Amino acid sequence: MKYAQRPEPEVSAATDVKAAVLSTGVCGTDREVLSRKGFIPPDNSNFLITGHEVLARLVETGPDVEGLMPGDFVTFTIRRGCEACGPCRIGRPDMCETGRYAERGLGYADGFNSEFVVDSAANCVKLPSGIERLGVLCEPFSTVQKALNEAAEASRRLPETGGAPWFHGLRCLVMGAGPVGLLASMALVLRGAEVWCVDIVDERSARPQWLRAIGGNYIDARKLKPGKLSEAAGGKFGLIYQAAGDPESACGLLRSLAPNGVFIFFASGRGMIRSDGSLITGIIDGNQTLIGSISSAPRHFTMALESLAHAELKWPGHARSLLNAEFAPADFKKAYREDPLKNIKTVIDWR
């Protein structure tokens, strides 16, 4: 990784917008890609500009751009579709069937860690006033919104309760109190759920404190005997959101899922899964649903903005307090190598 000079991007199409980057987020996906295989550059390039979570301010809009103007605070969606499959052709590259998509900052397309970025207005999301400063949280929060939306869709198969009301009073477990786990907890609390979050950090540290301030409950897995999770929470969980952890411990949590429950697999990982057939029998006997969810579409960014505005009314300034480690662009190595447990969310400040 290096900090390098690149030509300034220019508006080239009538529907392009150009924005000055204010800050970018560093997340577990960046660190995972770095440790696993390294970032894959775009065609015709031998390196990739990182950064897929961004807050920026428009400085120029092409003549055919409507509804956006210089000065607007914005963020951008990151996945660019293959344009060959059905979902991509109707603007849902998050559900791409060929896998031949590009993701800005993650692979095959440059990201947002630069002073200026140019993109099509179709990929630009305007931030409403009051939550302008939360732009960096929009992309991770949009993936949470998509996953919960999928779970709500799955709940519609249940007799009587289904869809949005299903969350009311629902006992939910979030595995992992990292930024995504905390955002998922916040989204669930806002939907009226009873939230339990499990991790292996000290209960007096920043993450559990942030969680408790929004009404979530924290469980330190190190203090719990195996299999006692649902007992500690007062019963099995109607929804489990796996935001961290290796595959084996994720599958272990399946036994804590209530009948008719929904399990969301969100964090991929390496390692063996050892289990006998009773794991699958439990899923069958419990009429349970397992969902894998990745990426997001513009509609999920809209949901994220609504949810952030709701959170801002309920707990002013609290979502912003997730961003508690800021680095200058020249210190990007520190930002990427920062111990993820030391802070909640790391950002690079481009101002």
Q: What are the residues binding Zn ion (CB under 5 A)?
A: 27, 29, 81-82, 85, 88, 96, 98
Give dist(CA 101, CA 112) in Å, integer: 17
Secondary element (H or E) of residue 109: strand 108-109
Confirm if 248 and 185 have CB atoms less than 8 A apart: no
Between 34 and 82, whose beta carbon lies closer to Zn ion? 82
Rounded to a whole number of angstroms, the minimum distance from the CB of residue 174 to Zn ion is 17
Rounded to a whole number of angstroms, the minimum distance from the CB of residue 95 to Zn ion is 8
Confirm if 211 and 184 have CB atoms less than 8 A apart: no
Between 88 and 121, whose beta carbon lies closer to Zn ion? 88
Instruction: Return the half-sphere exposure (C-beta side, CA atoms, 13 A cut-off) of residue 290.
Output: 13
Between 255 and 299, whose beta carbon lies closer to Zn ion? 299
Instruction: Return the half-sphere exposure (C-beta side, CA atoms, 13 A cut-off) of residue 107.
Output: 15
Between 113 and 289, whose beta carbon lies closer to Zn ion? 113
Rounded to a whole number of angstroms, the minimum distance from the CB of residue 10 to Zn ion is 27
What sign does the dihedral 112-118-123-129 (CA atoms) show? positive
Rounded to a whole number of angstroms, the minimum distance from the CB of residue 317 to Zn ion is 22
Give dist(CA 319, CA 164) in Å, integer: 23
Secondary element (H or E) of residue 32: helix 28-36
DSSP letter for each residue of 268-294: ---S-----THHHHHHHHTT-EEEE--
Give dist(CA 219, CA 210) in Å, integer: 14
Between 69 and 122, whose beta carbon lies closer to Zn ion? 122
| Residue type (1 letter), 92 | R
Between 88 and 257, whose beta carbon lies closer to Zn ion? 88
Q: Which residue has the tokens 């500690």?
A: 232
Between 88 and 267, whose beta carbon lies closer to Zn ion? 88
Rounded to a whole number of angstroms, the minimum distance from the CB of residue 171 to Zn ion is 28
Backbone angles phi, psi at 329, to 5 degrees: -50, -40
Rounded to a whole number of angstroms, the minimum distance from the CB of residue 84 to Zn ion is 6
Between 81 and 178, whose beta carbon lies closer to Zn ion? 81
Question: Quick one: 225 exposed, middle or buried, by C-beta within 10 A (0-12, 13-18, 19+)?
Answer: exposed
Rounded to a whole number of angstroms, the minimum distance from the CB of residue 23 to Zn ion is 14
Rounded to a whole number of angstroms, the minimum distance from the CB of residue 88 to Zn ion is 3
What sign does the dihedral 225-226-232-235 (CA atoms) show? negative
Between 88 and 303, whose beta carbon lies closer to Zn ion? 88
Backbone angles phi, psi at 268, to 5 degrees: -80, 155
Rounded to a whole number of angstroms, the minimum distance from the CB of residue 162 to Zn ion is 29
